[in-house]
Amino acid sequence: MEIRMGLIMGGKSAVAGTIEVRVGDRVEPGQTLLNTETGKGNRPFKSMVAGRITRICVEEGSQVRTGDVLFEYEEAADGSGADGREPAMDKNAAPCQDIKRMETDVAVIGAGPGGYVTALYAAGQGLRVVLIEKDQLGGTCLNRGCIPTKTLLQSAHLYDTFRRAGEFGISSGNVTVDMDKVFDRKDRICGENRRGIGFLLDSSRVTVITGTAQVMPDRAVMVKGGDSAYEIKAGYVVLATGSRPVMPDWARTPVCMDSREALDSRSIPHSLIIIGAGVIGMEFAFLYAAFGCRVHVIEYMDHMLGTTDAQAAAVIARTAKEKGIRIDLSSRVTRVLETDSKEAVVFYEKDGMEHAANAEKVLVAVGRAPEIDREAMELAGIRFDKKGIKTDENLETNMEEVYAIGDVNGRIQLAHAASAQGIQVIDRILKRPKGRESVIPSVIFTSPEIGSAGKSEEQCREEDIKVKVSVFPFTANGKAKIQGESEGFVKLIMEEQSRRIIGGVVVGPDASALIGCIAVAITNNLTDDGLSGTVFAHPTTSEAVWEAAMGLSTGCIHYHE
């Protein structure tokens, strides 16, 4: 006979807490069998029957819903349950999964660049660490984000270079692409990196558990879904559960894919509509166009790439056009239909009129939402909104000793930001004095790349900061010409009064590496002299940074406006 969960107020599920009985126990009406945690508080679940428990069908930490079978029992012969007989247990009953109990200093939930870096850093400082991941080590960044996209972009870049080989005096014949091999290489690189992370965690003595973790109201971490269930008592908990693509209802048709599906598709369609000219949209636009796909990007705003420097975005608009990428700005997509021939029709509003565009496939890149289990968070009482888990300036949530880092806290969606936040949290736990405020550079891997760090010109205008701006074009840089990539510039923004470099943008060759040098200057309060007084090797693209610094003081050497 079965004992089932009664009505849960509000129709929601509850979380099973401590189970108060064991198989074979005699129970009486009114006896507590299980403690449950519901949105309305903790409630004991009491027996309404008398008998012996023959099977436990619930795990501590699991979600239970109204009507779920929690226990099986055998009615006592006289109905009293107090007959003194040995329990009649079902020999074939699946044993209840044992809950392994652990104690640790830090429990980290999520093994993306936020979580696994936090775990490695904490372990390196002598803390005992448990890292829980429900999917693959490396998270979004390694498995469906930074690394796979940049690996594919590298193949695209090489293909492009081969096609331009004539410019360099090389005839390369008929260059072809084997997409299967391109995707195999991507998978191989991701796999190698995953194994590398596994090795590092192992050699740092981080305990890695596979399963879905959830924080309980008493801060214990329950894990299920893996080989065993766990209850982990940790001094500190770090939530690093990341984010997932936003897929509007109108995009839920088979012709639409998100970035993860695009990375798994192993093929390039003949034509593609990309909804959203943000970072993902534009990186994919250049990727697909390089492999010969006809790309049409549709963007709601009147500019592309969000808050990126307008001059840099204009360079990208120009190169996109040269590569045949069509971009419609100020256009809001309202729906997507699939035709009988399995092609996509995308409807969008522009200039007060409805337009339609056709393509083989549609990539939806309209933003990413925090990965939050709403019900679990509500039960635990951890505050969040649609942007993410709410944190204070120390990245602590409203639950003491529980922190949230990376994409899930909705501050900034970048891999290195997630890692930096994890290190910040561990330093705080170890009561280390807060270091200087560091800037978070960002790089957009379009063609050419854009790197940005510190304050933008627009921010300075808004904050009424008086600045001097210097721009040095790559057309005047020897190495850029050698590389055949002289499109773009280096821009430095200096606060007039202190002469400190407070912002910078690089669009052009090696932008992803050069922005690091500008980030060092900003973080360490370097002035224009600090940069222009440094000697940069020749011929390198880094000389463009030096020239831009010279432009702030005595003037550029190789460029006059």
Number of CB atoms found within 10 A of residue 458's CB? 11
In the numeric block, the tokens 């773009």 are attached to 488
Find the binder of ligand FAD among 106, 107, 111, 289 (CB under 6 A): 111
Q: Which one is catalytic: 303, 538, 558, 560?
A: 538
Among ligand NAD, ligand FAD, none, what binds residue 112 when CB lies within 5 to 8 Å by partner kind? ligand FAD
Q: Is 301 in the site for ligand NAD (CB under 6 A)?
A: yes
- Strand pairing partners for 384? 389
Query: Which residues, including other chains, have CB under 8 Å from residue 144's CB and lie 6 or more apart?
Result: 259, 260, 263, 264
- The site map against ligand FAD for 428-467 (x = CB under 6 A) is -----------------x----------------------
Q: What DSSP string describes 188-218?
A: HHHHHHHHHHHHHHHHTTPEEEESEEEE-TT
Closest separation in Å from C-beta 522 to ligand FAD: 18
Distance CA(539)–CA(76), nearest Å, equals 90
The 206-245 site mask, x for binding ligand FAD (CB under 6 A), equals ------xx--------------------------xxxx--
Residue 22: count of CB within 10 angstroms of its CB: 10
Can 303 be counted among the known catalytic residues? no
**Residue closer to ligand NAD (CB basis): 81 or 113:** 113
Contact predicate 294/270, CB 8 Å: yes
By CB under 6 A, residue 182 contacts ligand NAD: no
Report how far residue 404's alpha carbon sits from residue 368's, in angstroms, rounded to the nearest whole number.
Answer: 17
Q: Which of 111, 120, 366, 420 binds ligand NAD (CB under 6 A)?
A: 366
114 binds ligand FAD (CB under 6 A): yes
Q: Which of 359, 418, 526, 544 binds ligand FAD (CB under 6 A)?
A: 418
Task: State which amino acid sits at residue 55.
Answer: R
Q: Return d(Cα 64, Cα 14) in angstroms, integer.
A: 5
User: CA 228, 419, 411 angle in degrees (round to 5)?
Assistant: 100
Two tokens, residue 512: 């992803």
Q: Report whether 489 contacts 482 (CB < 8 A).
A: no
Where in 441-549 does DSSP place strands (E)? Answer: 442-444, 449-454, 467-473, 489-495, 501-508
Residue 280 interacts with ligand NAD (CB under 6 A)? yes
Please check whether residue 361 is in contact with residue 269, taking contact to mean a CB–CB distance below 8 angstroms: yes
Stretch that binds ligand NAD, among 230-238, 260-268, 296-304, 482-490 (CB under 6 A): 296-304
Side-chain-side CA neighbours of 170 within 13 Å: the count stands at 9
Residue closer to ligand NAD by CB (options 361, 368) is 368
Q: Tell me the window of 95-103, 168-176, 385-393, 404-412 that interacts with ligand FAD (CB under 6 A).
A: 404-412
Position closest to ligand NAD via CB: 278
Distance CA 559, CA 561 (A): 7
Does residue 448 belong to the site contacting ligand NAD (CB under 6 A)?
A: no
User: Residue from 106, 414, 426, 505 that binds ligand NAD (CB under 6 A)?
Assistant: 414
| 421 touches ligand NAD (CB under 6 A) | no
Q: Please choose, out of 46-54, 94-102, 206-214, 274-282, the segment that lies near ligand NAD by the rule CB under 6 A.
A: 274-282
Among 368, 479, 491, 500, binds ligand NAD (CB under 6 A): 368
298 binds, among ligand FAD, ligand NAD, none (CB under 5 to 8 A by kind): ligand NAD
Name the DSSP class of 502.
E
**Contacted entry of ligand FAD, ligand NAD, none for residue 472, CB cut-off 5 to 8 Å set by kind:** none
- Give the rounded distance of the alpha carbon of 369 from its chain centre: 9
Binding mask 125-164 for ligand FAD (x = CB under 6 A): -------xxxx---xxx---xx--xx--------------
Shortest spacing between CB 374 and ligand FAD, in angstroms = 12
Closest CA to 402 of 153, 219, 154: 219
β partners of residue 55: 72
* Distance in Å, CB of 213 to ligand FAD, minimum: 4
β-bridge mates for residue 230, sequence order: 100, 223
For the record, the structure tokens of 261 come out as: 């599906």
Amino acid at 536: F
Which residues does the annotation mark as catalytic? 538
- The residues of the shown chain that bind ligand FAD, judged by CB under 6 A, are 109-115, 132-135, 139-141, 145-146, 149-150, 212-213, 240-243, 259, 280, 371, 406-408, 413-416, 418, 445
- The residues of the shown chain that bind ligand NAD, judged by CB under 6 A, are 275-281, 283, 298-301, 306, 332-333, 365-368, 413-414, 442-445
